[in-house]
Structure 1
Amino acid sequence: MGTGLMIRVVVVDDQTLVRQGITSLLEVAEIEVVGEADDGRAALGVISSTGPDVVLLDLRMPGYDGIWTLEQLREQDMAVPVLVLTTFDDDALVLDALRAGARGYLLKDVTLDQLTHAVRTLADGGTLIAPSITDRLLRAIRSGPSPTGPDASPTQDLTDRELEVLRLMAAGFGNRRISEALFLAEGTVKNHVSSILLKLGARDRTNAVLRALHDGVLR
């Protein structure tokens, strides 16, 4: 996102009134809604034609739901940050959404400030998951086997600088804001992020942060 440019979003929800309400609220916050869709199949067309900075996606929709949409976006290499905005906070559903590529997860009871903060965070390259969901998510992860074995802890291989970058990633900072906070070139930050993902065996930033939380590196 360039500084000063209005963020462009697509809203995907099967309820017309919800879409209209979210659109009106975002416009107050000077975030432009460039398209709407009522299911996943329609969403793919709207996203392809409008090229938004962020997609707000409901999960439970008749027909082509949110998980299907996330999987299709990944398969078609449509690299747009997706913020799940739903009434459902089921642990399995949260994990499914994150595994499918969601970069953020919020419940619909959030305030306008929380929603706009999340949209701006994702547009800036960061991730954001509601704290109440994160707590339960970590318990769910800890209750299952470690993906790399019971004694493995790949976070031990991270350098001090990579840990600094990881902590800022967990705070929702994108690459540009991390570079400003640590006085590094943005290209250097991107290299650190790539190294972190490789060492943790993580597909994306969200999974890297969750793994670090699971290993106790981030508190």
Structure 2
Amino acid sequence: MKILIVDDHTVVRDGVRRLVEGLPVTQIGEAESPSEALAAFRKLRPDVTILDINLKNGSGLDVLRRLVADDPGARIVVFSMYSDVVYAASARREGALGYVSKSAPSDELLVAIEKAMEGKPHVDAETAALMEAQENTASGAKDLSRRELQILHMLGEGRSLNDIALGLGVAYKTIANTSTRMKEKLGMERTADLVRFAIETKGGRMLGREGES
């Protein structure tokens, strides 16, 4: 098995190298920048590529797109400092088979590599739990009224509750109470969580409904 490690930190590459040396590996390649990654990928033709999102002079997601374009059958595991559903979903959408946070136990990366060799997806437990929670939240969003979706849309634009109240010509308390009901429906406790959800779903438009009054 040939493995390519793409990360802009030497200490991380060394750590991953020591970890994968326990596998039946015949060759290990390394790269720290997008250009090096593409060149190493074409030269080594690895069975599995372990790819960071933050790279020297570029984005790992851009590299991911280029590698998949170069070889649609490429088996790529994203190994990132972010245990974030947005990055994980983006990586999977761009063609990565696996996604593992650097905060996850080392065994998670080994499992992801083994799964990738079988052509199967794998996401570390922490990130998978976050993704499941977001799916549940999105399901709860189907219960939002049109006015609530309108407010969600305005939150996604970066507007405060006070700004929304002024814009809709209603009392602040009305918007605050509506915000509380929205959080209850979505299983959230903080307004900050509601704002983040609004941004990630583009103000509710990704849920398939427009925030109309």
TM-score w.r.t. the length of structure 1 is 0.58
Q: 1:127 aligns with which of 121, 130, 141?
A: 121
Q: Secondary structure at the match of 1:121?
A: helix
Deviation at 1:97?
1.0
Deviation for aligned residue 1:26: 1.3
Code of the residue aligned with 1:47 in structure 2: it is F
Report the CA distance between 1:8 and its aligned residue. 1.4
CA RMSD after TM alignment: 2.2
Query: Mind listing any 5+ residue stretches in structure 2 that lack a counterpart?
Result: 143-213
Indicate which of 34, 39, 42 corresponds to 1:48: 42
Paired with 1:32 and 1:110, the residues of 2 have a C-alpha distance of 26
> Match for residue 67 of structure 1?
61
Alignment of 1:196-211 (within 5 A): none
Conservation of the 8 A alpha-carbon contact between 2:97 and 2:119: no
> Aligned residues: percent identity?
26
1:104 to 82, 95, 98: 98
Q: What secondary structure does 1:110 align onto?
A: coil
Name the structure 2 match of 1:84. Answer: 78
Which of 80-89 and 27-36 deviates more? 27-36
The count of residues paired between Structure 1 and Structure 2 equals 141
Runs ≥4 residues deviating over 6 A: none
Structure 1 partner of 2:206: none
1:13 is matched with: 7
Q: Which residue of 1 aligns with 2:183?
A: none
* Structure 1 segments unaligned to the other structure (5+ residues): 1-6, 151-219
Q: What code does the residue aligned with 1:93 have?
A: Y
The amino acid across from 1:138 in the alignment is E
SS in 1 for 2:92: helix
Amino acid at match of 2:59: D
Q: Aligned pair in 2 of structure 1 residues 69, 84: CA closer, same or farther (>3 Å)?
A: same
